[in-house]
Amino acid sequence: MSHTYEAVKDFDQQDPLAMYRNEFYLPENRIYLDGNSLGLLSKRAEQSLLGMIEAWKEHGIDGWTTSVHPWFYLSEKLGNEMAPLVGADAGEVIVTGSTTVNLHQLAATFYEPNGKRTKILADELNFPSDIYALKSQLMLKGVDPESHLIQVKSDDGHTLNEDDIIRAMTDEIALIVLPGVLYRSGQILDMELLAKEACKRGIPIGFDLCHSIGSIPHSLTDWDVDFAFWCNYKHLNGGPGATAGLYVNKRHFGKLPGLAGWFSSNKEKQFDMEHEFTHADDAGAYQIGTPNIFSLAPLIGSLSMFKEIGMEKIRAKSLKLTGYLMELIQEELNGHGFILRNPIDDEKRGGHIFLEHPEAARICKALKADGVIPDFRAQNGIRLAPVALYNTFEEVWKTVQILKAIMNEEKYKQFENKRGVVA
Residues paired with residue 188 on neighbouring β-strands, in sequence order: 181
Active-site position among 119, 184, 234, 349: 234
Nearest to residue 283, comparing CAs of 109, 68, 131, 65?
Answer: 109
Active site residue 383: yes
- Active-site position among 20, 233, 354, 376: 233
Least Cα distance to 32 among 384, 422, 363, 301 occurs for 384
Pairing, β 245-248 against β 339-340: unpaired
Active site residue 34: no
Instruction: Please state, in angstroms and rounded to a whole number, the distance separating the CA atoms of residues 172 and 31.
Output: 48
> What whole-number distance in Å separates Cα of residue 257 and Cα of residue 283?
10
The per-residue b/e assignment along 90-120, b for 16 or more CB within 10 angstroms, e otherwise, is: ebbbbbbbbbbbbbbbbbbbbbebeeebbbb
Please give the biggest Cα pair distance in the chain. Answer: 70
How many C-beta atoms lie closer than 10 Å to residue 390's C-beta?
21
Q: Are strands 381-384 and 353-356 parallel, antiparallel or unpaired?
A: antiparallel
Residue 302 burial (CB < 10 Å; 0-12/13-18/19+)? buried
- The strand pairing partners of 178, in sequence order, are 207
127 an active-site residue? yes
Q: Which residues contact 338 (CB under 8 A, 6 or more apart)?
A: 329, 355, 356, 357
Q: Is 208 a catalytic residue?
A: yes
Could you please report the per-residue DSSP string of 302-320?
HHHHHHHH-HHHHHHHHHH
Instruction: Look up residue 239 and give its amino acid.
Output: G
CA-nearest of 286, 269, 287 to 278 is: 269
Q: Is 376 helix (H, G, I), strand (E, B) or coil?
A: strand
Query: Choosing from 127, 132, 253, 294, which is the catalytic residue?
Result: 127
Non-local CB neighbours of 251 within 8 Å, separated by 6+ positions = none
Q: Is 30 a catalytic residue?
A: no
3-state secondary structure 52-83: HHHHHHHHHHHHHHHCCCCHHHHHHHHHHHHH
CB 318 within 8 A of CB 387: yes
Closest to 147 measured CA to CA, from 155, 158, 137, 138 = 138
Which residue positions form the known binding site for pyridoxal 5'-phosphate? Answer: 99-100, 127-130, 208, 211, 233, 262, 290
The catalytically annotated residue of 383, 390, 393, 411 is 383
Element (H or E) spanning 335, and its range? Answer: none
Catalytic (active-site) positions: 127, 208, 233-234, 383
